[in-house]
Amino acid sequence: MTEYIRVVCHAGYRADESPVRFFLGERKIEVEVIVDRWTGQDHRYFKVRGDDGGIYIIRQDIIADSWELTFFDRLDDPEK
């Protein structure tokens, strides 16, 4: 599964240091916590928990300067 998304980032010493929210179509998802992050040759990856309780892996294509949703999983507890 790969879906292009719009991401709003916190700007630190880098322009797009870490995601704070992203949009799936018109649906806005706030990042509650960055669970993990890592880099590949041409991508930066973030595993995040959204305010909807979902776990997402989003990646930034550094060369194309675009973002993609590469993984989604709903937590078992719908209250979280």
pLDDT digits (tens, 9 = 90+) for 24-63: 989 999 999 999 999 999 999 999 999 999 999 999 998 9
pTM of the entire predicted model: 0.82
Parent domain of 13: 3-74
DSSP code at position 61: E
Q: Which residues pair with 60 in a beta bridge?
A: 44, 67
Of 69 and 12, the structure prediction assigns the larger pLDDT to 69
Question: Is 28 within a domain?
Answer: yes
Pair 59, 68: CB distance under 8 Å: yes
Task: Give strand ranges (E) for 1-80.
Answer: 3-10, 18-24, 27-39, 43-50, 54-61, 66-74
Question: Is 19 within a domain?
Answer: yes
Give the 3-state secondary structure of residue 79: coil
Average of per-residue pLDDT values in the chain = 86
Instruction: Give the chain's domain count.
Output: 1
Position 4 scores a pLDDT of 75
Position 15 scores a pLDDT of 57
Give the 3-state secondary structure of residue 33: strand
Question: Is 79 within a domain?
Answer: no
Identify the band that residue 65 occupies on the pLDDT scale cut at 50, 70 and 90: confident
Dist. CA 20–CA 10, nearest whole Å: 6
